[in-house]
Structure 1
Amino acid sequence: MELRIFTEPQQGASYDDLLAVARRAEETGFGAFFRSDHYLKMGSVSGEPGPTDAWTTLAGLARDTRSIRLGTLMSAATFRLPGPLAITVAQVDQMSGGRVELGIGTGWYDAEHQAYGIPFPPLGERFDRLDEQLAVITGLWRTPPGETFDFTGRHYQVSDSPALPKPVQRPHPPILLGGKGAKRTPQLAARYADEFNLPFVSIDETVAQFERVRAACADIGRDPAQLTWSNALVLCCGKDDAEVARRAAAIGREPDELRVNGLAGTPAEVIDTIGRYAEIGSQRLYLQVLDLADLDHLDLVATEVMRQL
């Protein structure tokens, strides 16, 4: 089981805050540093100093880190046009020496679209746009050098594109898709995903959705073993119950609730939970770290949990 760090900067974080977490994650051996792609805080926090753009952040981290992989859970297809997004991700992949991964989804948070003037079409149209974006982005990246790319869709049209720049990773950076949708989500994952991720769901829900994606793969003749299977869970680990309670309070949650719905407890409890996800086929866990100032949290997991895996 690979452990990755996942942050939610819209809740209140500067670039320097994120850099400190990414560097500590790199130093302590975590597999990747990922961040959400949101422009508005959620819940009762102030969100100050305000949002940071996901791909601007990753471009900075590409130069300010050395080896850790970098990515998004998940960039919203409503935020960016597919051609410019393909250019941005390819450039950040070059800047990082081939360490970038693109998590992308339909977008779901209506309030952030209203807050920053971003169109928010109905869900069916958002899925249609995501489908076309994936076709355009992968098509641009896969086009051989010296050839051009064309695409005619309902929402996006591309004509005579030189399909540049190319990312370092070939044929392209890994693409992550995820979510609980019963039909279109599995279909898109089967066609486009290198990794399928489920955030904040139970083991039973994970089993059911993984099976839907495997069935969608079978429908198009794709081997499900070509996908990496992953989950994201909020992290709250402590060396003892008192430390667990302190860390839970710092993020406004209850220890007992987190033990049920997250990755929480002492290192032994956390290892046990990880084992249960591994048994159902999850290969990676994204540990949602909400208190970005608590770098000792990462140290504890690295020394007392990750080394046991």
Structure 2
Amino acid sequence: MRLGVHLVNFDYPGGPAAIGPTLARVGAAAEAAGVANLSAMDHYLQIADMGLGDVDAPMLEGYTTLAFLAAHTRSVELQLLVTGVTYRHPGLLAKIVSTVDVLSGGRAVLGLGAAWYEREHAAFGVPFPPLAERFERLEETLRIVRQMWSDDDGPYEGRHYRLAETINSPQPLRRTPIMIGGSGEKKTLRLVARYADATNLFAGPHSSPAQVKAKLDVLADHCAREGTDYDRIRKTVLWAAPVTADAEGGKAFVAQLAGYAEVGITEVHVMPFAAEPVGFVERLGEHVVGALGAL
């Protein structure tokens, strides 16, 4: 099982001036630890109920952050977990992710979801349509980015988006993986089967491998209907709770993940909630990465 680190807290000792140097050290620590994926949230405002401060706590723009991390890493994948479909026009999103991929030497992943944080949309004046429309926009966005990352540079005509040309130069250095976040059985997992390379589900102390397996079974059914090879879909989870990464806590965490590995999960993303992410990543390398890799 691979390990990803999902950055959610940017309130570091030393204030805003410390954010850049801290993230540079996170990148170096992730490489040394054997972390497979570095991700950040895609939000304008901090999520108040995560215990990381109110909405005025520091929050970085996601793709700018990935570009910075690209310069301070060599091999880890880079993505947002996940981009809300409402935050950027899909043509620009394809261009942005292509740029991250080119500048990182082919390490970008596009994470996409239907968006949910209405308060930040209102705060920044970004339209927040009803859920059904957001899912329509999500599917159109998936079609647009796939077209822009192909040899087809012709127009795109959809219900919500119309592009006269889908020119994208330079193209990504590799076939950029697409991850869809969420566990909705009727829409989200159907979109995974139809368009994506990876699914991201929630797991934690209050979930069980059986619950995740039930979602994967639904995904397998969608794959069968869509003619998609279920085995090629990367199955990942975001661990929605703090992880203690010392020797004892790391051993307990790996033991919890064993059941998820048995049902097909191949990657887990963990969050450094504390304001010392470098030490957290270093401890993951010492106590977690190797043991997870053996599952």
- Displacement after TM superposition at 1:175 (Å): 0.5
- SS of match in other structure, 2:149: helix
- Displacement after TM superposition at 1:204 (Å): 2.8
Measure the CA separation in 2 of the matches of 1:292 and 1:99.
26
Measure the CA separation in 2 of the matches of 1:274 and 1:152.
44
Instruction: Provide closer, same or farther for how the CA distance between residues 238 and 52 of structure 1 changes in structure 2, counting only shifts above 3 A.
Output: closer
**Structure 1 match to 2:287:** 304
**Structure 2 match to 1:77:** 85
- Displacement after TM superposition at 1:48 (Å): 5.6
- Displacement after TM superposition at 1:297 (Å): 2.4
- Displacement after TM superposition at 1:51 (Å): 2.0
**Structure 2 match to 1:190:** 193
- SS of match in other structure, 2:260: helix
Measure the CA separation in 1 of the matches of 2:101 and 2:277.
29
Of 289-298 and 192-201, more deviation after overlay is shown by 289-298
**Structure 2 match to 1:53:** 61
Instruction: Provide closer, same or farther for how the CA distance between residues 48 and 19 of structure 1 changes in structure 2, counting only shifts above 3 A.
Output: farther
The runs of at least 4 consecutive aligned structure 1 residues that moved more than 6 Å come to 10-13
- For 2:210, give the aligned amino acid: D
Instruction: Provide closer, same or farther for how the CA distance between residues 70 and 294 of structure 1 changes in structure 2, counting only shifts above 3 A.
Output: closer
- Displacement after TM superposition at 1:235 (Å): 3.7
**Structure 2 match to 1:156:** 161
Q: What percentage of aligned pairs have identical amino acids?
A: 32
Is the 8 Å Cα contact of residues 140 and 164 (structure 1) preserved in structure 2?
A: no
- Displacement after TM superposition at 1:47 (Å): 5.4
Is the 8 Å Cα contact of residues 150 and 157 (structure 1) preserved in structure 2?
A: yes
Matching residue within 41, 51, 55 for 2:46: 41
- For 1:301, give the aligned amino acid: L
List aligned pairs for 1:223-242, cutoff 5 A: 223-233=229-239, 234-239=241-246
Q: How many residues align?
A: 280
1:270 aligns with 2:265: no
Root-mean-square deviation (CA, aligned residues, Å) is: 1.9
Deviation per residue, 1:132-186 (Å, 9 max, x gap): 00100111101x2xx52221100001223333331111xx311001212120111
Instruction: Provide closer, same or farther for how the CA distance between residues 294 and 90 of structure 1 changes in structure 2, counting only shifts above 3 A.
Output: closer
1:134 aligns with 2:142: yes
Any stretches of 5+ residues in structure 2 without a counterpart? none
- SS of match in other structure, 2:147: helix
Structure with bigger RCO (C-alpha 8 Å, 6+ apart): 2
Is the 8 Å Cα contact of residues 22 and 278 (structure 2) preserved in structure 1?
A: no
- Displacement after TM superposition at 1:68 (Å): 1.6
TM-score (norm 2): 0.89
Deviation per residue, 1:89-144 (Å, 9 max, x gap): 101100000011110111101111111111110000000000000100111101x2
**Structure 2 match to 1:21:** 26
Deviation per residue, 1:11-36 (Å, 9 max, x gap): 77734433322221112111111111
Any stretches of 5+ residues in structure 1 without a counterpart? 241-264
Measure the CA separation in 2 of the matches of 1:63 and 1:294.
18
Measure the CA separation in 2 of the matches of 1:162 and 1:120.
27
Is the 8 Å Cα contact of residues 31 and 76 (structure 2) preserved in structure 1?
A: yes
Is the 8 Å Cα contact of residues 33 and 284 (structure 2) preserved in structure 1?
A: no
Is the 8 Å Cα contact of residues 91 and 167 (structure 1) preserved in structure 2?
A: yes
List aligned pairs for 1:142-291, cutoff 5 A: 142=150, 144=151, 148-169=153-174, 172-200=175-203, 202=207, 203-233=209-239, 234-239=241-246, 266-291=249-274
Measure the CA separation in 2 of the matches of 1:207 and 1:57.
33
- SS of match in other structure, 1:67: coil
Is the 8 Å Cα contact of residues 37 and 54 (structure 1) preserved in structure 2?
A: yes
**Structure 1 match to 2:101:** 93
Deviation per residue, 1:209-232 (Å, 9 max, x gap): 111111100001111011010111
**Structure 1 match to 2:8:** 8
**Structure 2 match to 1:103:** 111
